[in-house]
Amino acid sequence: MDQQIKSELRSIVGKDYFLDSPNELYVYSYDATPLYQAMPDAVVIPASVEEVSAIMKVASKHRIPIVSRGSGTNLCGGTVPVEGGIVLNMNRLNEFKEIDQENLTATFGPGVITADVHKAVEAVGLFYPPDPGSMRISTMGGNVAECAGGMRGLKYGVTKDYIMGLEAVLPNGEVLRVGGKNAKDVAGYDVTKLLVGSEGTLAVITEITAKLLPLPAAKQTMVAYYNDLTSAARSVQRIIAAKIIPATLEFLDQATMVVVEDFAHIGLPLDMKAMLIIEQDGSQWQVEHDMERIADICRSEGATEVRTAQTAEEGASLMAARRSALSALARVKPTTILEDATVPRANLAEMVDQVDIIANKYGLQICTFGHAGDGNLHPTCLTDERDKEEIHRVEQAFEEIFHAAIKLGGTITGEHGVGMAKAGYLDLKVGPVGMDLMRRIKEAFDPHGIMNPGKIFAKSARRRVVVNTNGCGCEHEHAHN
């Protein structure tokens, strides 16, 4: 990036918010996804939509890649600047502008932390359901870009279901406002929902208006332990078939239970093959009624123990244990590769079996946990990136897992996004017609291809789950453009 451009960018945000020293750039060369890394040419930290617009005009004129990011907690390599260019750190747009209690909406900047939204709205008796695993660190801009999911997806849906309005800056610097506070709005194409989950490849989100619900009056948590995986999966199916939709319906296999227990010490019975964590919310009456019926179903499907948390604290600690699964797994081996294969929930048992068969076939340690009620599984491989031969088997195994998910009517990613990690596999789900169409939609927003290039759309046909993009992890600057 030449000095003239750097000085233009510096003059927009001020010198403190333009970074280009190797040490500073290094910090923005990776995200939460293992094995992906690439150096940006500059990091720019704007404070307003006007600054974002001015930056985009410079980037557009000089065809500089733009990778907007918040906390970088995504798990698809979504914010790795694989073609260099500018990383746009959006964390200064973190104003919590409004909670509108009459319209049940909240409006804030993309830099606001997800858990802070929860806290702010719950303080006035309202509820923002999406709760991705990284919610204490992740920003709402990132949640919108990736269409983050979480543990309450079964009953409450995902980020997309709560985003009513957006302000965004297009690649050419134009400011777009779509949606708003209207409960119903069919004025033209739904650009709001199109931007949610577009992974920074279409526009830079600068303001978010989210829908809120009344906070449920009561909540209860339950665990059920099983001697075999199939009984656990069948319980999930039977709960839904009984027309009960719990807020949360999570699954952990034995391998995951062992590491979670070692991490969280909550007394899990480690001789069990699987457990479900079930949470229901609503009126006290509804919660008790549903929990009784759920317990009956679990028992009749062979659960060896069904236990209801006696206090809110006990419930919270069970949920915290589930939330700790990824951190716990990450301690076991040097490299943890968390996948996101998802199937229609009726095919959950079969998918769990398939993962097991594939793990054995390739001699890998794959632990499986996830949002069973959504059919959204996270088979997680514990491996070591230095062992090239094993990493090769990991790639083969995950490719087979994706194929198995697609064969069962599923998808390659339920909530983590495509990014770089799944770009080579997107055609499995959407086919060549879908790929072509998505490329044309991308061009409608971003004719010069500067928005988060290398994400969603694979450059090469070769499929790779794990790629160290420029390999070195070194601290000197690279020329990428």
* Interaction residues for a second copy, span 3-62 (CB under 8 A): none
For residues 95 and 185, which CB has a smaller minimum distance to a second copy in the complex?
Answer: 185
Site for a second copy in 273-332 (CB under 8 A): 282-283, 285-286, 289
CB of 436 to a second copy, least distance (A): 8
CB of 452 to a second copy, least distance (A): 13
Taking CB under 8 A as the criterion, the residue among 416, 450, 454, 466 binding a second copy is: 416
For residues 92 and 403, which CB has a smaller minimum distance to a second copy in the complex?
Answer: 403
Return the biggest CA–CA distance within the chain: 71
Taking CB under 8 A as the criterion, the residue among 12, 90, 113, 158 binding a second copy is: 158
Is 160 near a second copy (CB under 8 A)?
yes
Binding segment (CB under 8 A) for a second copy, from list 83-91, 111-119, 184-192, 357-365: 184-192
Site for a second copy in 354-383 (CB under 8 A): 371, 373-376
Give me the 102-141 binding string for a second copy, x by CB under 8 A, dash otherwise: xxxx-------------------xx---------------
For residues 242 and 472, which CB has a smaller minimum distance to a second copy in the complex?
Answer: 242
CB of 435 to a second copy, least distance (A): 8
Is 414 near a second copy (CB under 8 A)?
yes
For residues 84 and 454, which CB has a smaller minimum distance to a second copy in the complex?
Answer: 454
Taking CB under 8 A as the criterion, the residue among 5, 115, 120, 175 binding a second copy is: 175
CB of 379 to a second copy, least distance (A): 15
Taking CB under 8 A as the criterion, the residue among 3, 214, 267, 386 binding a second copy is: 214
CB of 27 to a second copy, least distance (A): 27
Taking CB under 8 A as the criterion, the residue among 62, 136, 177, 307 binding a second copy is: 177
Binding segment (CB under 8 A) for a second copy, from list 89-97, 241-249, 260-268, 326-334: 241-249
For residues 89 and 280, which CB has a smaller minimum distance to a second copy in the complex?
Answer: 280
Q: Which amino acid is at 75?
A: L
CB of 173 to a second copy, least distance (A): 10
Asked whether the beta carbons of 395 and 379 are under 8 A apart, the reply is no
Site for a second copy in 423-452 (CB under 8 A): 426, 429-431, 433-434, 437-438, 440-445
Binding segment (CB under 8 A) for a second copy, from list 6-14, 52-60, 209-217, 319-327: 209-217
Q: What is the dihedral of CA 134, 138, 143, 147, to 10 degrees?
A: -20
For residues 40 and 419, which CB has a smaller minimum distance to a second copy in the complex?
Answer: 419
CB of 226 to a second copy, least distance (A): 19
Cα→Cα distances 150→319, 403, 414, 464, Å? 12, 24, 10, 26
CB of 428 to a second copy, least distance (A): 9
Query: Number of residues in contact with a second copy, rule: CB under 8 A?
Result: 89
Query: Residue 143 and residue 211: Cα distance in Å, rounded?
Result: 14
Is 151 near a second copy (CB under 8 A)?
no
Taking CB under 8 A as the criterion, the residue among 94, 206, 237, 469 binding a second copy is: 237
**In this structure, how many other beta carbons lie within 10 angstroms of the beta carbon of residue 472?**
12
Beta bridge partners of 44: 18, 88
Phi, psi of 306 (to 5 degrees): -125, 125
For residues 176 and 295, which CB has a smaller minimum distance to a second copy in the complex?
Answer: 176
CB of 465 to a second copy, least distance (A): 15
Is 154 near a second copy (CB under 8 A)?
yes
Taking CB under 8 A as the criterion, the residue among 5, 115, 137, 215 binding a second copy is: 215
Burial class (CB in 10 A: 0-12, 13-18, 19+), 412: buried
Q: Which amino acid is at 453?
A: P
Is 232 near a second copy (CB under 8 A)?
no
